[in-house]
Amino acid sequence: MRVTKRRSDIIELLKKEYWYAKAELDFTNPYELLVATILSAQSTDIQVNKVTKELFIVGGTPEKMSDMSVEELENRIKSIGLYKNKAKNLLAMSKILLDDYNGKVPESIEELLQLPGVGRKTANVVVSNAFNIPAIAVDTHVFRVSNRLGLVDANNVIDTEKQLMQVINRDDWSKLHHCLIFHGRRVCKARNPLCSNCSFTDKCKYYKKLPKKI
């Protein structure tokens, strides 16, 4: 796909506006990154960071994780919510890593997707950050913002992924991912977006479609 000037303008402005953008979860060890990403689902990042770092004191490897009872793990991650599903999945996943992958994290999206609790977003986060495999993690913010702005025109996550990979230079994938998330959280919110505070309205497809306020 040819990158239009309008799109490249938006990309440059995103990078400028959110020059400080980076992941809140800064785990580089593949297993820790995998666990942290699973824990972060639908939860507040600051709390997840705290809980995850404490968890890794006792569970930073699949072996150590498997030493914990489901009750202990639940209690350790309780404060981030959705804890029963996450605890169950983390223990099941760690067992699979030990049984089938020699305690290592598999390095392909397809294998990661087979693990319990690992979906498209988590798999892409892990391979792109830990294994340098080209992938863009499309979460709710990335999906919503990139479609609203008109960086892509997609009605599902996979198409959004593919189109973003065409539109954005690979060197910028990680950076832009975080820019889109920051913009989505602070300005381009799912409900009641703060368009009056937004720097992109003159280029935004979504804004152009909004009914004019009197």
Partner DNA sequence: AACTCGGGGCA
Partner DNA sequence: TGCCCAGAGTT
Binding residues for DNA (CB under 7 A): 23-25, 38, 40-47, 78-86, 89, 115-123, 139-141, 178, 181-182, 184-185, 189-191
Q: Which is nearer to DNA, 8 or 45 (CB)?
A: 45
Sign of CA dihedral 108, 113, 114, 118: positive
Q: Which is nearer to DNA, 40 or 163 (CB)?
A: 40
Q: Which is nearer to DNA, 99 or 202 (CB)?
A: 99
Burial of 209 (0-12, 13-18, 19+ CB in 10 A): exposed
Q: Which of 139, 172, 208, 213 is catalytic?
A: 139
Q: Is there a catalytic annotation at residue 171?
A: no
Closest approach, Cβ 4 to DNA, in A, equals 27
Q: Is there a catalytic annotation at residue 139?
A: yes
95 three-class SS: helix
Closest approach, Cβ 71 to DNA, in A, equals 13
Q: Which is nearer to DNA, 6 or 173 (CB)?
A: 173
Q: Which of 15, 78, 104, 121 is catalytic?
A: 121
Closest approach, Cβ 176 to DNA, in A, equals 13
Closest approach, Cβ 6 to DNA, in A, equals 26
Cα 151 to Cα 10: distance, rounded to the nearest angstrom: 8
Cα 147 to Cα 153: distance, rounded to the nearest angstrom: 6
Cα 160 to Cα 163: distance, rounded to the nearest angstrom: 5
Active site residues: 121, 139
